[in-house]
Structures are given as C-alpha cells and as structure tokens.
Amino acid sequence: MKYKSFLIKYGEIGVKGKNRYMFEDALMKQIRIALKDVEGKFFVSKELGRIYVDTDGDYDYEDTIDRLGRVFGIVGICPMVRIESKDYENLKKRVVEYVDEVYPDKNFTFKVDTRRADKSFPGTSESINAELGEVILNAFPEIKVNVRKPDVLIKVEIRTYINIYSLEIAGPGGMPVGTNGRAMLLLSGGIDSPVAGYMIAKRGVRVEAVYFHAPPYTSERAKRKVIELAQLVAKYSGPLNLHIINFTDIQLAIYENCPHDELTIIMRRYMMKIAERIAVENGDQALITGESIGQVASQTIQSLFSTDAAATLPVFRPLIGFDKQEIVEISEKIGTYETSIQPYEDCCTIFVAKHPVTKPILADIERSEEKLEGIIDELLEMALESKERILVKA
C-alpha cells in the first residue's frame, strides 16, 4: 500500500478547551518543520479534532515516519486511505481493496469500527460496521470476526471525507515544542543531561544549551562529543543554540583558592551563575540539569540546595527521582547513549576531589567563595565575552 495521507493523533492537546486551536497550530508548525527536509511534498491541515498530513507525488515513507515519530505532541501516526466520494457502494469497494492490499496474509481476526461524524451519511455507525464487515467476509472467507479482541481493528471515519486506517505507529507524546516557554540546559558529555533536555523539550519547552569546556584538560574530541549530543537532542527539540564556555581559568582559580572537598559544589555554583547569565540574556525562564538525588556526592539534597542558591531562575531536574538504569533506558531509546559513553572526560571529572563533601553547609561554601574575591569576577566576564555559540541542527 502506497499511502498518500496520514492521520496525526494527539493526546493532552485534546483537553485544552478554548485554547486547543493554539496547541493544534503549534503542532502543525512543528510537523511542517520536521518534514521540511524529507523527500516529497507535504500538506498539513486540520479539521475538528483531527490533523492530517497529505502527500503529493513520490515521497520517502520511512523517513516521513521517522521524522513524525520525533515530533512532540504526536501520540499516534496512522497511515490511511482517504476517499473523497461518499458513495456507499464505493466505500464498500475501497474497504475491500484496503484489506486486500494491506494484509496479504488473510489469517487474522478483525472488527470494523465506524465513526459517523457526518450525520448526513446514510445509516448508523452500527449498521455501517455490520455491512462493511459482511463485504469483507464475503471477499475473504478465511478472515474471521472477533469483536472483543480482534487482531486488526479497521477504522472508518466519515467526516468531510472518508478515512480508512488500521495501523497506528506510536509517537513520542508530550506537548509541541514552543508552547511552554524557554529554558537553558547545562549539557555535559555524560548520560544524564541529554536525557534531561529531551524530557523538558517533551513538555513543550524550547531548549538551548551551555557546555563548559576546559582545555587543555579536556580535548577537542570531548567538545565534539557534546556537539554530537546536542545534535541528537535537536532531533526532538528542533534546532538549538549551544553556548560553549571556556571554564579552565575559573576552575583553576577555584582549585587554587578553595578547599578541595568543596571543589565540585563551588564549580557547579559558578556554572549555574554563568548559565543563568546567558539564559537571562536570551529570554530563557529556567535552567535544566540532569541531576538525580544521591547519584553522586554533588547530588545529595544538601548539595543541590547549595547549588541552587547560586541562581535565581528555577532549576528543572526531570531525572531527580530516576535511578541510573531508568536514565540509561531513555538514553538508549532516544539514541544518545552510545555517544555519551565515549571515553572523553568533561571538565567536572577532571577536577573532582578524592573525598568531596556530601553534606555541604551553604554558609561554609559562601565563606570559601570569599577567597575568590577580586579574582573570579574578572574571569567570569572574560569567559562570557569569549563564549562560542553554535546553532545545532539535527
């Protein structure tokens, strides 16, 4: 079957009440963006409760499904046959043709489920189910009816046109990107932060990212790894700005002037300060990190409290209650895992203390930071002035 149309199913958009059209329009925009570079011509449209993608001429089916399968807001992609004529006999003929072409092996059970939104169409949904079921059985006696647990559920929607479909390919769910503000992701080369960016983007937040680079302690390959991770996140979030900060001098100043058991916490606090500065300049309303409680010393509740105190923007931690295996499973699903485990160190692991404090007291941390007065502010401004920005596309 060479499908020419797709029914796009959405989930929670459907409960948005009077504002639903805004979310539908945002989803349609994201679909157009996702299909922009796919071979073929596509037309995105909607009617009450339905969004459609129609094609014109040849197109790449597999690539189309792949791109639609990464658009947040879509819960199902249904390849379908659309019939413009509402002639009842033509409908029966087309349903039989559909079953014959889509299911060459006729060893299955089925049920017809009709939705008759156009009440001018003759009959009732129940009578149409019965008549279409009868013509399918007459055409293919080896097929059996099972109204409770059919192998194949043949959907017939009688609306402006008639839609016939039985396949549903799962989408990622969530909300269309751009419907819930903007946030800045602190992106490292590890497993967690790309997953955190994916999860927040799934809630409709437009994401950009900042990466802290520490040459010569971290290599250009480590930087390239983070750019690759940003590209993988961008497959779902759409194009994002990646801000690269040279963090070496700031880290060395902290290393030389502050207690070594507090290094990680103090470095994280300055990362938060820098990320917040960039976020505010770019109109972002929150920060995103990949931390989960208790995973490492810098992720105890006391450590997170001390880190958060360095920022005024809210900090989103979508992985806060996840264990490592749960995070790994998501990273494998979205395709970031193999890149994340490449052995290129980031700046945090290079300067980690042998025995880091696990229950820092904020007042003690702030007193330690006083030793940086007259040193750190200038280094921070220099890092911001020399930052590199890359527009990352999937």
d(CA 147, CA 166): 15
Q: How many CB atoms lie within 10 A of CB 214?
A: 24
- In angstroms, the CA 295 to CA 293 distance is 6
| C-alpha to C-alpha distance for 221 and 343, rounded to whole angstroms | 10
- C-alpha span between 389 and 7 (Å, rounded): 38
Q: How far apart are CA 297 and CA 262, in angstroms?
A: 10
DSSP 146-192: -SSS-SEEEEEEESSSEEEE---EE---SB-TTSS-EEEEE--SSSH
- The answer on whether 319 is annotated among ligand-binding residues is no
Dihedral angle of Cα 281, 286, 288, 291, to the nearest 10 degrees: 130
Number of other CB atoms surrounding residue 260 within 10 Å: 15
- Hey, how many other C-beta atoms are within 10 angstroms of the C-beta on 262? 20
CB atoms within 10 A of CB 120: 7
Asked whether the CA dihedral 352, 301, 175, 283 is positive or negative, the reply is negative
If DSSP codes are grouped into helix, strand and coil, which group holds residue 65? helix
- Residue 209 phi/psi, 5-degree rounding, is -140, 155
Q: Report whether 186 belongs to an annotated binding site.
A: yes
> Tokens 């089925």 belong to which residue?
110
Task: Give the Cα separation of 250 and 254 in Å (integer).
Answer: 6
Say how far apart CA 78 and CA 9 lie, in whole Å.
Answer: 8
- CB-based burial of residue 135 (10 Å sphere; 0-12 exposed, 13-18 middle, 19+ buried)? middle
Rounded to 5 degrees, what are φ and ψ at 45?
-145, 175
342 is annotated as contributing to ligand binding: no
Q: Is 21 annotated as belonging to a binding site? A: no
Residue 185 annotated in ligand binding: no
Residues contributing to the annotated binding site for ATP: 186-187, 211-212, 268, 290, 299
Residues contributing to the annotated binding site: 186-187, 211-212, 268, 290, 299
